Structure 1
């Protein structure tokens, strides 16, 4: 009989089920009022005295194993049902992850960088907190120069020397020229700061991309062809014009317009009925700027250009209010999920 109990011990150890009905039938078979355990206990008095100790020990082992097996299987089943109740069917396919999106400023900046990278321009960066020399003086804007009033500046420190938030990324170009000799072909994207009232068309924080090309025998025609290539790639427009303008660090200087067209009511509105849109400023680098950066103006010449990324993005996506770029409105930003 002891061997029979041991065979049941092996059967109990091997038993597995996730069906509550089968588990209950197993419990009744061994632990029910008419179960095998009762039969074995009744047979105990018929066991010879010399075998009772081993018989009792083996029988208790069977009872303990059967009790623990039932408890274990029921707990596992309850835990699984609880998980399904809280989380649903854990074997079902997962919900698709919410796809994020790049900010429209980043999208346009990356497009501009890629366009100029295709014609050999690298990317240079510099600090947002600048000194007076790199932001103004080296760019042909000495102290008390009236052109400084064109850029209302956030000053961090005035004495002993002026420390400020950069008003343009031309300061990065100055640093690049100080550290590198021609040929130079670089663009400088970054955030800039000006003490201006915030409105639908202007902000105290915005982004620029400025370009610089310096080499021997660089001419204004090189500048025009570079800008024509850029406008074709970004806007798909092949007609530009350059209007005379003034910037302290370039001579001659020009404003660049593209012909947007007059095909829709929106075209009439954004171009004020002219069909032309201003997109950037440009010019030939002033010889004084080259001298300030230890580049020989007798040997080298170059051109520079600069544009506001927000303005370009507003044109590309027909956004009417610059403040939308900075309000972190998910409804606005989700529109750019399909953009690169």
Structure 2
């Protein structure tokens, strides 16, 4: 008798399993049509609730979580490499650490597979696409570094949700830039004269403008009492020449930095890590460039550790 092959045995016993399953359904009172209907209904329910079958959703979530782990490893290694950053400021707020993030947005790292009404497959595909893009363009996208001044120091307002944030974006570390860039951040309050002028401008705007951007005159006027925020990024050449080259479109969109004695300011090398001796020299250039009208406005060079959590 010819010896049966493994493939034939698998096929033969597969037939037995199918026939046994059909016999069991008959004994339990299920027809083949009812079984198919039940199977389709289950798939439709899972697709509506989760975006696909549970097994397929779990597969995508596992792929997504693995990719997020890869990204987290890249970020943590960059944090270890940087260790700390330097900035020059007159802010007396105690900053315990700086946070580092990949310069790419993606959805929350936590996914609850039992939550109904979310398309987990589409969400996972979106996250996979975003992280893959970051990995391909890591040198140019780089890593963003933030500090948080803490509760009670909120200053960036969202006029649509009336929320305030105390987070300051200091740096975008990247490998693509061949030359140093610098950043000045200013926190300040409007003077009474400026508030009056801006209030008149807001009140004179057409009503359609507020509808289009989802706000109201009352909301915008209220924000004039909050601490304000302005920033500008400039090149090594501009720092050395002691002049901002705001030409063309840059002159339209770059905010002016006019530090007053009430201002809180930050100066930092925007795109590279810099040693203290070199940064001290850059801080001296910054002082002659931005603080010559305010000789009493003094700052200090501070170091803060970069963490990822």
For the pair shown, the structure with the greater C-alpha radius of gyration is 1
Q: Give TM-score, length-normalised by structure 2.
A: 0.26
Q: Give TM-score, length-normalised by structure 1.
A: 0.25
Q: Taking CA–CA contacts closer than 8 Å with sequence separation of 6 or more, which of the two structures ends up with the larger relative contact order? A: 2
